[in-house]
Structure 1
Amino acid sequence: MAVSRKTAMAIKSYQNQARALAKNYLLADPFMPYTCILGGILLFKVGYDLTQLISTFYFKSYNGLTKIQRIEWNNRGISTIHAIFITVISLYFVFWSDLFSDQRVAGLVTFRSSPLSVFALGVSVGYFLADLGMIFWLYPSLGGMEYIIHHSLSGVAVAYSMFSGEGQLYTFMILISEVTTPEVNMRWYLDTAGLKRSNAYLINGILIFFAWLAARILLFGYVFYHVYLHYDQVIQMHAFGYFLVFVVPSVLAIMNLMWFGKILMGLKKTLAKRQ
């Protein structure tokens, strides 16, 4: 009985120490961004391993892939998880939360943030760092220079927005474009599984077209329009933040248009083969 009581007291002591550590350090305002980034990297690793484990047991075609194909398969699994997470969070902040609402009079929209917004952006930064590391490590197997440019610009912009608290609304607007990632990954999965001629592949291609048009073409136009309407607030940002607000969306918009052209051509070819 005495041993059990001592054990219980020791466990309780460790729990109290863990809570104190989390409250005073990990979740304290100065350390929270770093904690979230580290959490994002750890989640990347956990998601990668879970994708590998699940795929090994439930997808017969997985075991027949080459080593690099299995790595990309797992990488796209965590890419999909991150995309769903950040898209849901971004849609919430842009369309449902009152944090960035024009009806709110507390502070300029370009300088608003919250613990939840910092947490979400930190997790996203952790993902971009981990994924960029894998792209460099296996370059060019997981993507060429366009992926490095995309991830680098996105990572820098998201990190700056998280640490400075500036321009988080525009960061979340741009991150909504991640809604296209699950469809793009599914296209790769279907192609790798030998289902390129299936109806699922055609339907997925159509979904990519409309999702890309909405989230990476029209939405970017709305971002520039919103910046125009709130330019008096945007101009009060730090010079680097002001630079990012204009340069990052512009570069990504150009890349999106180039990729959209390829998507359109691919969809036309697929439809032509079925006639």
Structure 2
Amino acid sequence: MLIEYYQSKTELLLKNYVSADPFLVYTSVVIGIIGCKMVYDLSQLFSVYFFKSYLDLTNSRQIEWSNRAISTFHAVYITSMSIYFILWSDLYSDNLDRGPITLRSSILSTSTLGVSVGYFLSDIGMIIWCYPSLGGIEYIFHHVLSLVGVTYTMLTGEAQIYTYMVLVSEATTPSINLRWYLDAAGMKRSRAYIINGVVMFFAWLVARILLFVYLFYHAYVYYDQVKKMHGFGILLTLVVPALLSVMNSIWFWKIVKGLKKTITKRD
């Protein structure tokens, strides 16, 4: 298949490029950080020319505008790669000859996580530097949890399947950011704003509620393979998604109330 062909070509290129796993890890993280910087700069450049409302924003809001461009770019990237690994790749298939599903990794899967680590490092740095305009303590807590979990699986190769399940939740980020952009552009009463709210509701329900339920079900079914991981890896697999689930549920309730309020005002 075409997808398998490009996968093999990509992994062959990475194998020829790197001589050791640590070099792969550090390179992919640096690429993630540089990518964030490039998106930030390009966002500022294009926004000045293509969005009139951008120039009317305060300096802190312009920073948030470009920061959300970074998170949108990362969300599209990591969601696409996560869906690929979970649904299309045979890396996490039920083939027992390949060993426990919780211990499987590849050059491509590890380097993909490295880019994501670079993003989380960049975003945490920006949140702390601009605190609290880009988010409060709950955002820092969320990012630190995500960073610890992704970094561990990147360095050890353990539980990458569950990490990618969690990272699918980034699929909700574009709609969240679009909602902020519509608000910043003065389109809070537009039809697009309401449609976006509905899309955000269903995306959050699927990617951050139902998918997490499936993750815990999967870990229960494959617990005999989960137990083959290091103790810290088992702890991260069970605790990090659980904590994120609590935060996701709280935010989901706020989304429901906000959507209800918007529709009520519309009527």
What band does the TM-score fall into relative to the shorter chain? over 0.9
1:135 to 124, 127, 130: 127
Question: 1:93 — aligned with what?
Answer: 85
- Can you give the 5+ residue segments of structure 2 that lack an aligned partner in the other structure? 1-13
Q: Please tell me whether Structure 1 or Structure 2 has the larger radius of gyration of its CA atoms.
A: 1
Query: 1:30, CA displacement in angstroms?
Result: 2.7
1:1-275 mapped onto 2 (5 Å cutoff) = 28-275=20-267
Q: Which moved more, 1:50-59 or 1:103-112?
A: 103-112
Q: Per-residue CA shift, 1:47-86, capped at 9, x if unaligned?
A: 1001111101100010111000000000000110000000
Q: Per-residue CA shift, 1:212-247, capped at 9, x if unaligned?
A: 000000000000000000000111111111110011
RMSD of Structure 2 on Structure 1 (CA): 1.3
Q: Per-residue CA shift, 1:169-208, capped at 9, x if unaligned?
A: 0000000000000000000000011100000000000000
Query: 1:102, CA displacement in angstroms?
Result: 1.1
CA pair 27-56 structure 1, distance change in 2 beyond 3 A: farther
Query: 1:29, CA displacement in angstroms?
Result: 2.3
Q: Per-residue CA shift, 1:146-180, capped at 9, x if unaligned?
A: 10011000011000000000000000000000000
Of all paired residues, the percent bearing the same amino acid is 60
Give the TM-score of the pair, scaled to structure 1: 0.90
- Can you give the 5+ residue segments of structure 1 that lack an aligned partner in the other structure? 1-21
Cα separation, 2, equivalents of 1:266 and 1:228: 34
Report SS of the residue matched to 2:93: coil
CA pair 137-26 structure 1, distance change in 2 beyond 3 A: farther
Give the TM-score of the pair, scaled to structure 2: 0.93
CA pair 213-23 structure 1, distance change in 2 beyond 3 A: closer
